[in-house]
Amino acid sequence: MKGSEAIIESLKAAGVEVVFGLPGGMVIPLYDALYDSDLKHFLVRHEQGAAHMADGYARATGKVGVCIATSGPGATNLVTGIANAYMDSTPMVAITGQARSDLIGTDAFQEADITGITEPIVKHSYLIKNPKDIPRIFKEAFYIASTGRPGPVLIDIPADMQLADIDYKPAGKINLPGYKPTLKGHKKQIISAAKAIAAAEKPVFYAGGGIITAGAEKELLAIAKLMKIPVTTTLMGLGCFPEDNDLSLGMLGMHGTGYANYAVTHSDLLIGVGARFDDRVTGKLATFARHAKKIHIDMDPAEISKNVAIDIPIVGDAKDVLAGILAELKKMKREPKKTAAWTDQVIAWKKKHPLHYKDEKGSIMPQYVIEEINRITKSEAILCTDVGQHQMWSALFYKHIKPRHWVSSGGLGTMGFGFPAAIGAKVGCPDKTVIDVAGDGSFQMNIQELATAVCYNIPVVVCILNNGFLGMVRQWQELFWNKRYSETVIACQPDFAAVAEAYGALGITIDNKKDVGDAIRTAIKSKRPAVLDFRVKQEENVFPMVPAGKSIDEMIGGHKT
């Protein structure tokens, strides 16, 4: 069979059902093979959209997302999406066409060294040099993308490799001597961690996206309940611990809740799981959790003591390690009242410094829109976001109770991510309500994917919190740059509802608070792609906020007045 047909067979062997992409000269053979296959292909309008759709699909389903682009500009258009997946550890296989093998290195038409360009932002990459390698390389790519700490893998395929005739044999056993992720945590370290937890008086969990990747939510909840340990999550970890539980502290860090930041600051034991001590979490490193002994459980050994010195490191799968710790704790004699004063204190902080905002008459407050989305969807929607103030309000004011229901660009902070990611999430989870909360700036970065959503009738509801600004940057300018709004006013806004209608989607403009709920309900009921343009208060800020370089307990705007 042809190399291109072998690619399709290899994708099917990997369990792939859907792919997102856009063809071009150097992938015509692959698309020709796709034409006769059962794989469902979604034709995007920009390759960045394909990468984010694959990413959103992967986050919502836990499967590997797949995107395809042609060589040169098609491949480079994937770069932001690949970097985004890399930073957030999303399993993805990106397939790119390449100029014919004999032309590589000659500046051939639409040639770009995509393996070189993406080298720092992929978990691994392949350039196919022999068509016989296709089944093996695809099998390895899916394995590498989805095991250990997940991430994107790139496969670059010259056009002649797709056209070559090969004797197709399914790939045999994977043999990658240089790649052996550690799944089981070290027994002695697990015992040390359990002892430290049993001895702590003020413990706090700092839970990240790694919990969701590992499916370790139950183990986390069980330990938290057994030992009465409060849990704060990162942006990526939202949903790994139910926020309707008393022990939940919501998100920590720069825009974290006051109580999460106080709890971490005053803790005597910080248990980091599947989280990477990101600067948006730690603030000033020297003062971060300064009284606490630190346990770090992570799949990636490179994360241990990268930013913060760790006392008890455990490399391994979060589910396996937490299960081990739980078993040890159950064997131990415990003093259940040991953390009682601490949990009382944390609950008192929760009462004293709740999340709040001032409801201004005559304005639609952005936080109110998020609260309405939460009420209407009963915290059951898959909530996707772009990047900016709306992202932080979505993180804070929506109740995150389930894993894989929060799809947001954490590490790279990619404006333009939310909408295509929402399309991918809806493709993967057609029975769920999928809402994309967008900024008026961010939405315009991949607005063209409205055509994709309409074309395949993918009913995603986009809620634009339209403040007429690149809001988060404006907030920094207001607070730290003397209100000098240099290029953050978005002049010349389109009429978003009219744009949506022009694409064939439902479009509604909302400029009155009383219409907010109805608009959301109408959009969900319509079962069509919909764009809701909420004209929200323009200069509202996200609080609390830790100014850059400060300790996380030095928040501004965190107190109710």
Residues at the interface with ligand TPP (CB under 6 A)? 386-390, 413-416, 439-442, 465, 467, 469-473
Q: In whole angstroms, give the CA distance from residue 60 to residue 407.
A: 7
Instruction: State the CB neighbour count (10 A cutoff) for residue 120.
Output: 8
Give, in degrees to the nearest 5, the angle at Cα 394 between 284 and 504.
135
Q: In whole angstroms, give the CA distance from residue 374 to residue 341.
A: 32
Among residues 74 and 471, whose Cβ is nearest to ligand TPP? Answer: 471
Hey, what are 505's tokens? 């989607």
Distance of alpha carbon 361 from its chain centroid, rounded? 35
Cβ atoms of 406 and 353 closer than 8 Å? no
Q: In whole angstroms, give the CA distance from residue 193 to residue 270.
A: 11
Closest approach, Cβ 301 to ligand TPP, in A, equals: 30
- Comparing C-alpha atoms, which of 561, 545, 538 is closest to residue 358? 561
Bridge partners (DSSP) listed for residue 531? 462, 507
Q: In whole angstroms, give the CA distance from residue 23 to residue 40.
A: 14
Cβ atoms of 378 and 240 closer than 8 Å? no
Among residues 388 and 507, whose Cβ is nearest to ligand TPP? Answer: 388
Closest approach, Cβ 300 to ligand TPP, in A, equals: 24
Q: In whole angstroms, give the CA distance from residue 155 to residue 138.
A: 8
Let me know how long the chain is: 561
Among residues 147 and 442, whose Cβ is nearest to ligand TPP? Answer: 442
DSSP for 401-437 reads: -STT-EE---SS--TT-HHHHHHHHHHH-TTS-EEEE
Q: In whole angstroms, give the CA distance from residue 174 to residue 138.
A: 11
Cβ atoms of 53 and 434 closer than 8 Å? no
Among residues 442 and 551, whose Cβ is nearest to ligand TPP? Answer: 442
Closest approach, Cβ 536 to ligand TPP, in A, equals: 9
Q: In whole angstroms, give the CA distance from residue 153 to residue 179.
A: 14
Instruction: State the CB neighbour count (10 A cutoff) for residue 560.
Output: 11
Q: Which residue is nearest to ligand TPP (CB)?
A: 439
Distance of alpha carbon 319 from its chain centroid, rounded? 19
- Comparing C-alpha atoms, which of 457, 531, 465, 454 is closest to residue 498? 531
Element (H, E) at 316: none
Among residues 404 and 537, whose Cβ is nearest to ligand TPP? Answer: 537
Burial of 457 per CB tally in 10 Å (0-12, 13-18, 19+): exposed
Cβ atoms of 273 and 316 closer than 8 Å? no
Bridge partners (DSSP) listed for residue 545? 556
Q: What one-character DSSP code corresponds to residue 501? A: H
- Comparing C-alpha atoms, which of 248, 244, 245, 246 is closest to residue 207? 248
